[in-house]
Structure 1
């Protein structure tokens, strides 16, 4: 089968993953082109969904939503939609057909290539010059050029030259990273995270956090003696840290102390300390920069002794250059119609790699020089193993022109032009993206497991102890279904005796149901799946699930129905199956927005652009939501109204509503209720501090998730020499 063909006026080039019309070329995911090619082989014939799924995704479990997304990508490339179906036609409950002329091009018909004229270095807003491909139209005749004859001595000389180059050229660097072993660096009962090497490679610097005591400190570990040194006293919540190129100054982000109730905007402090002095005794950091009305994260030292930092005003992130010496900053990189997600810096090459959401909704890898000039920008070409809407955080690797990132239990490499390849990884549990040693032969990562359980507790049950936080949480709240891995999101079946919940007990995040004795897995999501929200239908026959930022309706009889929204779903809050609408947070060009979506038309109605942490509707339809400062709001006639009686009563533990009564837990670990009709607020009882979330309420019973153990540790991946 030829690798190039025509669909009407569109030229399809499978070797380049492109669809071209005139001089306009579009890069299309390989699987979408495979769908198109199979339809082209069966021109004007109806091809079933099952046939397309088995042909394009053999030996892979995917939902029909994956196929629907590929069809949508093709229709967009052809300039049509579901209503206008000139090219790809949908046949209800049957499949799809390609309704236009197909001309296959011979494999030896090579497109003419012309190089774009040389231009000045592109600015951050101008596209990178690329090679233009002009496809050969089948109506055009191809001229064959006969080679000239070379003298025999010239041919012999050419052969000898090729032999010499092959024999004496140094071997090429391996195209893949090969890991030899994984070894532990820390092994404590605390949570370690955020590891990095010092510029000289002599120290590993990491955060150590004990959440039960609300203690967080930065430590350094000598890689030769294994001696650990405490660098800081208690100093709030630390973010990523970075050590200056000369190894003298440690800089990191500090947020508010976790013991202080959040009653105003979080203050983000950029702080520093003398690293050499801290190796002798813990040092109190000095504040370099304060942010009260904006946020900063991910500081990284540049070679010029300035810092690159992600800075957010309103809902958009931009990359700034901060001068420690002058206490000034300037914008390095910004997207007017998009949002930045993550960045890393290569000291060796002086390059900045940025992942960003662009106007077309795709995730891009943008390469900058150290001054912020855009060198290249390409969409990330996700393979089938990675959900198409997954945001990634790649770091530089020892391979030339390649980065590396983790999706959980798997590692992938990412080239500067957006190509992704899978790497072999000796891990049996989730791990973070590796951060490489200056010599490139080892890398740090965080691995660990999260053990949580779900339990149902009666609201009117009296407490037998005064201080529940000092007792064993699992004895106080017996588990509904116990495993040594994470169980969460327990929800009661309407008018039934089942409980649906999410669990990693089978190795991946899946949806399970139980009647109290028997267990059954009802989803079959792929490896490294993330589930952010589930909700029963009113009849108790199906469950709406937000898995890998996409909505799927899972029926108890095993059927799965995908709902292909045009934007990634950040969080599913609630599903009203009667009106068939859902409360969601959606990511639009990298910006999170609070919305209610009509699941019939798949059209969103945006409610606001506030950072909403949780939301529910009451039985009579009133909307209640909690913002990032854990304050409760409800819409008013002119503007949203703060619920005054609930000021200082919010927490990270969410809330649930039954019969127009809100239930939640405050910062003092007190369960409370608030009646929206009577304006009555009551403290009900003390609860264990290890309760993570309230997830449902039904007939006087609360469903909770609580933490049994949360283990994170620093480990090193050693490369094979």
Structure 2
């Protein structure tokens, strides 16, 4: 095929032959030889294919794919993996025979199949493709595992190089189709843009318009300094209520109401000094807003106020030591609340009858170890969905009248809010991935999950009777700080490594010199190592993509690090890393242990502690002996959310997901050695924000009125002295921190720049996702 003389000339072909398969560009369909029907791929998968086609036979890095197909966004690498996985399935290529797209470890992907643009006369003729055996697996059956586990598993094999494609024609074709096709399709999905016809590409003005960055599908309707968060939409979607805290101030959060545009808000509540208003929820009739008024540790009231303003009324009392979550019942006669504290009677969800003031516990088999949070009724009133085991949990549902609980997701993720779509067929939820929060779309019918591509978004709320979505957009930049624990040191927090990225999960070695942490400073989320006495030693550890839920854990002799994550081939598991030489080894934890969450070393190098998730949504601590080829299970403790070695006293310190305080046991997890160390700290919601140094000192980070980051000493024999304010105006990461007895310091990830605004968008563009999912799922 000859290269067109004019790059603005009409398109010569709409079909592309890749190996034995034919790709219909406008329809986004791939027809494999011998298949009964064509398979439709997503716009992003098509974009990835076209980039690979232009560079056929060459390795294309993930960074290039992200820049070409996901411009002006901050997606995770998982989107590339999912696109490659979908292409392989569409080409009917099994994992053991990657003869179309090859994975190049630590580099990217390479298209190996021969490529040819089909001429117009070939399009009309019947396709003559030799039949071949193909795997007919509908795309609807692709994995819906946690994002952390959606990795490519292809084996790298040596394949003879295929004939090169005509580069000039492909470069022209890719430029027009990728920008003019994929960008417009993506814009259609997100913002309802219209397709332009092939004839519409025939002007310089049209090409220039397509090369312009697409308009984002949402607008920010608040822009004041500080934090605007916890939005709730009126049933008709015309108004939004949210919490507001001014810049450099955390006390006195008020509820504001405004139209869902950039109009001026009005203050609906003004809490008294020392109190916080939180959890605003719009009533089904649109006339009032329920909320909590709390004085932490002292008082908690369930309140309501008319949307028009006026006097507030008290609906009931709540636990001042916890912040419950709630929603209105469909008829507006009551409020459904999250699990109460263990000492507050029956476990599980409960309903407050607003007329009588009486509480009613729902019967669905909840136990004292189940912490059920953020309950919401489905639009038709038949179901209740909630998050179990927050802050690392999953979505579950029960019949509204009670009954057995059903698990909807299996991610053990940091879920940041969720809501139903108006038709009740899908759920939109926020989740933290790789240091960022994003919105995801969950189909309730088939469990499929889609990344909506809205960066730094959380706390979604959807209008009951309108196609409107609001959410919180927060874009903090975290740095790693050293904070002295010496009472005489008044130097304040000291930042370790300059970066414009997000540095989190700092884990200092027992030797006090080495530190590892996670960061996206290179453009990809990765694990970094440094000798703190030699700042220039900072470098990325290749071959591992860490999870962001827990800290990496050092061995007692400071030579090895345990990390949950994925290797270059996308294999998820527990990895042991030697930072000195960059060696990364996958540990063969028995699959029967459950979903891997975190692990810890013991003084005996043959023994490891592993925390996993169980099928009932809980967590379990297991002690393994890995001395032989086959790992041996030695002991287990149910409900444990975090475990750390205290080498100074030869004990293991524990927290529980459903219990307040700190616990300890011996190194063998003997049941008779289990006892409480501290009955107050940590709280069950902040069970990762504590650390123990080599000399047994236990530190706890908390958020208090007037101070975003406070450091407190906890443990047996301590009288809980007044906490020390480390950072009054910026939040710390809630995933954990570490401490060093040698340096008399803690190492904390704290935000440099922070704030939050409310975003708003129309839901019809998101509803098209459901239509596309139905097409992909149609066998």
Give your verdict on TM over 0.5.
yes
Matched, 1:218 2:255: yes
Q: 1:671 to 1:435 in 2, by over 3 A?
A: closer
Partner residue, 1:167: none
Aligned-pair CA distance for 1:477:
2.7
Match 1:271 to one of 275, 297, 303? 303
Q: Does the aligned pair in 1 maintain the 2:422–2:464 contact within 8 Å?
A: no
Match 2:738 to one of 667, 675, 695? 695
Aligned-pair CA distance for 1:499:
1.6
Match 1:327 to one of 357, 360, 363? 357
Match 1:713 to one of 742, 748, 757? 757
Superposed counterparts of 1:46-57, under 5 Å = 52=96
Match 2:457 to one of 431, 438, 443? 431
Partner residue, 1:100: none
Q: Deviations over 1:381-429 (max 9, x none)?
A: x8xxxx687869653225673333344565443333233153553x3x3
Match 1:257 to one of 283, 292, 295? 295
Q: Which moved more, 1:395-404 or 1:201-210?
A: 395-404
Aligned-pair CA distance for 1:229:
1.9
Q: Distance in 1 between matches of 2:482 and 2:262?
A: 49
Matched, 1:576 2:602: yes
The secondary structure found in structure 1 opposite 2:271 is coil
Q: Distance in 2 between matches of 1:575 and 1:434?
A: 39
Q: 1:536 to 1:716 in 2, by over 3 A?
A: same
Superposed counterparts of 1:252-651, under 5 Å = 252-254=291-293, 256-258=294-296, 260=297, 269-278=301-310, 283-291=311-319, 296-303=324-331, 305-312=333-340, 314=342, 318-332=348-362, 334-335=364-365, 343-347=375-379, 349-352=380-383, 354=385, 366=397, 368=399, 371=401, 380=409, 394-397=418-421, 401-408=425-432, 411-422=439-450, 424-425=452-453, 427=454, 429-432=455-458, 434-438=460-464, 440-456=466-482, 462-464=488-490, 476-495=492-511, 497-507=513-523, 509-515=525-531, 516-522=535-541, 530-547=548-565, 551-556=574-579, 557-562=582-587, 564=589, 566-569=593-596, 574-576=600-602, 578-582=604-608, 586-590=612-616, 592-593=618-619, 595-598=621-624, 600=626, 601=631, 603=633, 605-607=635-637, 609=639, 615-625=644-654, 631=661, 633-634=663-664
Aligned-pair CA distance for 1:522:
2.0
Q: Deviations over 1:541-583 (max 9, x none)?
A: 43212459964333432524155563345565x4336345455
Aligned-pair CA distance for 1:480:
1.0
Q: Does the aligned pair in 1 maintain the 2:221–2:261 contact within 8 Å?
A: no
Q: Does the aligned pair in 2 maintain the 1:432–1:446 contact within 8 Å?
A: yes
Instruction: Specify every segment of 5 or more residues in structure 1 that has no aligned partner in the other structure, as ranges.
Output: 1-13, 16-30, 42-46, 63-104, 109-174, 262-266, 465-474
How many residues align structurally?
540
More helix per residue: 2
Q: 1:583 to 1:454 in 2, by over 3 A?
A: farther
Q: Does the aligned pair in 1 maintain the 2:235–2:466 contact within 8 Å?
A: no
Q: Distance in 2 between matches of 1:434 and 1:61?
A: 37
Q: Deviations over 1:241-264 (max 9, x none)?
A: 32222223322345x524x59xxx
Instruction: Specify every segment of 5 or more residues in structure 2 that has no aligned partner in the other structure, as ranges.
Output: 1-35, 38-81, 107-132, 137-187, 193-215, 567-571, 766-779
The secondary structure found in structure 1 opposite 2:224 is coil
Aligned-pair CA distance for 1:436:
2.4
Q: CA RMSD in A?
A: 5.4
Q: Distance in 1 between matches of 2:595 and 2:331?
A: 36
Q: Does the aligned pair in 2 maintain the 1:449–1:710 contact within 8 Å?
A: yes
Q: Deviations over 1:422-467 (max 9, x none)?
A: 3553x3x321253223554431111212233223355558435xxx
Q: Distance in 1 between matches of 2:277 and 2:245?
A: 9
Q: 1:392 to 1:251 in 2, by over 3 A?
A: closer
Q: 1:442 to 1:390 in 2, by over 3 A?
A: same
Q: 1:687 to 1:249 in 2, by over 3 A?
A: closer
Partner residue, 1:203: 239
Partner residue, 1:65: none
Aligned-pair CA distance for 1:302:
1.0
Q: Distance in 2 between matches of 1:665 and 1:658?
A: 18
Q: Deviations over 1:498-551 (max 9, x none)?
A: 321122324554321123123322266669x53312112245443212459964
Q: 1:216 to 1:582 in 2, by over 3 A?
A: farther
More strand per residue: 1
Q: 1:619 to 1:61 in 2, by over 3 A?
A: farther
